[in-house]
């Protein structure tokens, strides 16, 4: 099956390519299609992932896989949430990390707990769509650690792994991350071919 990855984020493309490899799909990306993506104005991760996947599937005539994911810090009222990629305005990953640390200045212990959520939506040109979700709990450190990953990875410490996402190999991150867990659910659903539509359809 040919599938378009509905993202221009190279970090997400790498992780999705690695995670989907067992299915043997031919993966394309937005680099292969000159599309102007719609604004992500949904109230939830599912809303945004569905918006992107459905748009790309309709525009290309091919199944499209979109990811919407983000960091949630309960002590900040759920920030950055669906605004994770735009938190603090137009900024680099490093600047967003600095902004998050400023917002969390003085917070200690349980107040530094956070979680990442990823929602994958696989949409087809006929309007059918499937969704898969992954989540991982962690802690926001007071200073970045590690050189890998992207986004908030240097600040997000995963206690069960004893590392930040930025200190993990791609294989380790796939095992622990929210996106890795969403991909695991998708792989399980598709291991014997596309799942029955009456089971996989979105509510």
Per the residue annotation, which of 47, 68, 93, 126 is the catalytic one? 68
* Residue 58 CB partners (closer than 8 Å, separation 6+): 125
pLDDT of residue 198: 54
Helix (H) or strand (E) holding 29: strand 26-29
The Cα–Cα gap between 14 and 24 comes to 15
pTM for the structure as a whole? 0.88
DSSP classification of residue 190? H
Going from the C-alpha of 132 to that of each of 106, 122, 171, 193, the distances in angstroms are 36, 9, 20, 16
Query: Each residue of 48-87: pLDDT tens digit?
Result: 999 999 999 999 999 999 999 999 999 999 999 999 999 9
Domain count, the chain: 1
The Cα–Cα gap between 169 and 114 comes to 21
pLDDT of residue 194: 81
pLDDT range class, residue 202, cuts 50, 70, 90: low
Known catalytic residue at 126: no
The Cα–Cα gap between 147 and 177 comes to 17
Q: The domain that contains 103 carries what CATH number?
A: 3.90.950.10
Which parts are annotated binding residues for Mg(2+)? 68
Query: Each residue of 144-189: pLDDT tens digit?
Result: 999 998 999 999 999 999 999 999 998 999 899 999 999 999 999 9
| DSSP one-letter string for 112-157 | GEEEEEEEEEEE-TTS-EEEEEEEEEEEE-SS---S-SSTTTTTEE
pLDDT range class, residue 121, cuts 50, 70, 90: very high
Give the domain range for residue 12.
2-200
Which parts are annotated binding residues for substrate? 7-12, 69, 150-153, 173, 178-179
């Amino acid at each position: 099956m040919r599938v378009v990855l509905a993202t221009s984020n190279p970090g997400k493309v790498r992780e999705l390519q690695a995670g989907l490899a067992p299915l043997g799909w031919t993966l394309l990306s937005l680099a292969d299609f000159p599309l102007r993506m719609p604004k992500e104005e949904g109230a939830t991760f599912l809303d945004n992932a569905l918006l992107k996947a459905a748009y790309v599937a309709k525009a290309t005539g091919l199944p499209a896989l979109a990811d919407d994911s983000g960091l949630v810090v309960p002590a900040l009222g759920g920030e950055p949430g669906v605004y994770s990629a735009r938190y603090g305005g137009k900024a680099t990953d490093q600047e967003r990390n600095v902004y998050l640390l400023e917002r969390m200045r003085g917070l200690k212990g349980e107040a530094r707990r956070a979680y990442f959520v990823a929602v994958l939506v696989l949409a087809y040109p006929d309007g059918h769509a499937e969704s898969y979700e992954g989540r991982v709990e962690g802690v926001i450190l007071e200073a970045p650690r590690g050189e890998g990953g992207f986004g908030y990875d240097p600040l997000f410490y995963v206690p069960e792994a004893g590392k930040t996402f930025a200190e993990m190999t791609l294989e380790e991150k796939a095992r622990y991350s929210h996106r890795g867990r969403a991909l695991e659910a998708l792989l399980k659903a598709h291991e014997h071919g596309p799942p029955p539509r009456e089971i996989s359809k979105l509510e």
